[in-house]
Chains A and B, each alone.
Chain A
Amino acid sequence: MSIRALIVDDSSVMRKIVERSLRQAGIDLSDVFQAGNGAEALGVLRDSKVDLILCDINMPVMDGLEFIKQLPGVENANGVPVVMITTEGSESHVVQALSCGARGYIRKPFTPEQVKEHVVPVLAGKS
């Protein structure tokens, strides 16, 4: 199955690494949208439908937690799974992200295998 992914991170290098990791994980990407913060990502979602969102937490303008809190009001984000990819590794961040609606949590640094391990079950609706 081919999917459309939205990658949200203030580092363009990290966005490219995440995209490459998804492809290395065997995930077939038909479209990849990118945003440098939560506000930009909401702008992308106003115009585009996606199947998966991967999102950093610490970003300027609008951070990842605020972004996912706003997703329920965004039509194109209904039911779209969000996986956080972040350096923030505390349990409280994980709990906060999951309570805000995230379906997965990957800590940086990460390997493509870890991306696969967290993203594939989410896409299959098992997480």
Chain B
Amino acid sequence: MKSVSKLLAADGGHENWIPLLDTAAKEVFQLMLSCRLTTSATSDETKLNVTAMVGLAGQLCGVLSVRCNQKAAALMTSKMLGVARDRVGSEVADALGEVCNMVAGNFKNKIPGLAEGCMLSPPTVITGSDYDLHSMSHSPAVEIRMLFESMPIVISLDIHG
């Protein structure tokens, strides 16, 4: 079994994963929400108060998170379900969790050897922005900033080993 360090080395480092994460996210939004994500250089992260997280375990251990604001999460839900935004209710957390799950799955399927050796956890969704996330590892994170219908989304892969 390849270790993550070998996977990273084989791929020339985690920087090479950024375009894969970008493509994985764009494909999910294109296919499941029928809309295009655009890459954004910056975003106001203080207003991103909905966070979905999926754990990865196996050859790659870490957490993939998708952060956005409530309005973006509700719009994603309405687009996924094909209903008006004012008809969206309790499904928002479920929908954002599924988006995160699909981005994580699509991402790992793009890295040779990783689809077989990396399992995904069920999604966890946190609402609110007044929290700090502490990781016991000091490994690098892969992060992309996107715009969804002009609203910011940050997708991060925190690598634990």
Using a CB–CB distance below 8 Å, which chain A residues touch chain B? 10-14, 16-17, 20, 58, 60, 86-93, 107-111
Interface residues of B in 80-122 (CB under 8 A from A): 80-82, 91, 94-95, 97-98, 101-102, 104-106, 108-109, 115-116, 119-120, 122
Report the minimal beta-carbon distance from B3 to chain A, rounded to whole angstroms: 18
Q: Is the beta-carbon distance between B122 and A10 smaller than 8 angstroms?
A: yes
Residue of B nearest to A112 (CB): B31
Closest residue of chain B to A114 (Cβ to Cβ) is: B31
Q: Which residues of B contact A107 (CB under 8 A)?
A: 105, 109
Given A91-B115, A109-B30, 18 more pairs with CB closer than 8 A: A11-B97, A11-B98, A12-B91, A12-B94, A13-B77, A13-B95, A13-B98, A17-B32, A17-B80, A20-B81, A88-B105, A89-B105, A89-B115, A91-B116, A107-B109, A108-B32, A108-B105, A109-B32
B95 touches A58 (CB 8 A): no
Task: Report whether A90 and B81 are in contact in the complex, using a CB–CB cutoff of 8 Å.
Answer: no
**Cα–Cα distance between A16 and B58 once the two chains are bound (Å):** 31
Which A residues lie within 8 Å of B101 (CB)? 11, 87, 108
How many residue pairs bridge A and B at CB < 8 Å?
65
The residue on B at minimum CB distance from A87 is: B105
B91, B106, B116: the one contacting A87 at CB < 8 Å is: B106
**A13 contacts B94, C-beta separation under 8 Å:** yes
Chain B interface: which size bin? 20 to 34
**Contacting A109 at CB < 8 Å: which of B106, B108, B119?**
B106
Asked whether B81 lies within 8 Å of A17 as measured between CB atoms, the reply is yes
Residue of B nearest to A108 (CB): B102
Write the nearest CB–CB distance from A98 to chain B, whole angstroms: 16
Please provide the chain B residues from 37 to 94 with a CB less than 8 Å away from any CB of chain A in the complex.
77, 80-82, 91, 94
Let me know if B28 is at the binding interface, CB within 8 A: yes
7 A-B contacts (beta carbon < 8 Å): A11-B94, A13-B77, A13-B81, A60-B122, A87-B120, A109-B28, A109-B31
Which B1-52 residues have a C-beta within 8 angstroms of A? 27-28, 30-32
Question: Is the CB–CB distance between B102 and A87 below 8 Å?
Answer: yes
Closest residue of chain B to A90 (Cβ to Cβ) is B115
**B81 shortest CB reach to chain A, Å:** 6
Question: In the bound complex, what is the Cα–Cα distance between A96 and B100 (angstroms)?
Answer: 25
Partner of A58, one of B108, B109, B122: B122
List the 4 shortest-distance A-B pairs measured between CB atoms, nearest first. A87-B105, A90-B115, A89-B109, A109-B31
